[in-house]
Each structure stands twice: as C-alpha cells, then as structure tokens.
Amino acid sequence: MFVHVFAFPVTYACNITENDCELHRSVLAINAKHTPNTFKFRKLKRQDVLTALEGINPNKAARYNMLPPRVLKIAAEQMATPLTTIFNQAIEDNHWPNVWKKGEDPSVQERGRSGQSQL
C-alpha cells in the first residue's frame, strides 16, 4: 500500500505589536504579583579598580584586545583614576558600551583551589 502525503507551507497572518504583549492579561498578572527590580550597581572606588589592576597576572596572554596584562599591571597607578571615572559613568548612564560586551568570561578561581570557580 502506498500513502502519498502532500506538504504545503502554512502561513499565519499576525499583527501583534510589542504593546499588545505588554498589555496581555498574563503579563499584567505576573507584573501585579512581583515587585519591580530594584537592583542597582554601586559606584566603584578608585581603590577597587587599583586593586583589580594590581591583581592581574602579568604572565597571562593578552586577550581579544591584544593589550598585554603586564602593561595594565605596570600602569595600574596611572590608569586607576581614569578607568574608575569611565566605569562609574557607564554605571550612572545605565549603559554598557557594546565593545565591552565582547569581554571574555574567565572563571574566577579561589586561592588554593583549582578547577572550582568562586562567585
């Protein structure tokens, strides 16, 4: 016995806008039960940035930006203030530049424990 199946494209017309989704009853119900997100980044202190720069391992390879870690560590004292200003402006503007989003996400290692990341 031979069965022939016809395949044809099915199209659906849809005129849903983003506003329609925001006003959907399920979205409204979820929003009514949850408090707004109040998470805020704290501004960095110069010492925070300086400590991070001084903690860089100068023997690691350069990342995608091709800036050797040794340069960052050597120039930590001079770079801490301008970097703090730049980071705090990004936090204040609530805008993270797209080029910064290319950053790699290395695991943060606890001292003395390899293979386990620390949050």
pLDDT of the chain, 119 residues: tens digit per residue: 555 555 555 555 566 676 777 888 888 888 888 877 777 788 999 999 999 999 999 999 888 778 899 999 999 999 999 999 999 999 999 888 887 777 665 555 555 555 544 44
State the Cα–Cα distance between residues 29 and 22, nearest whole angstrom.
11
Cβ atoms of 83 and 72 within 8 Å: the answer is: no
DSSP for 53-75, please give it: HHTS-TTSPP-TT---HHHHHHT
Tell me the three state secondary structure of residue 114.
strand
pTM over 0.85: no
Cβ atoms of 52 and 26 within 8 Å: the answer is: no
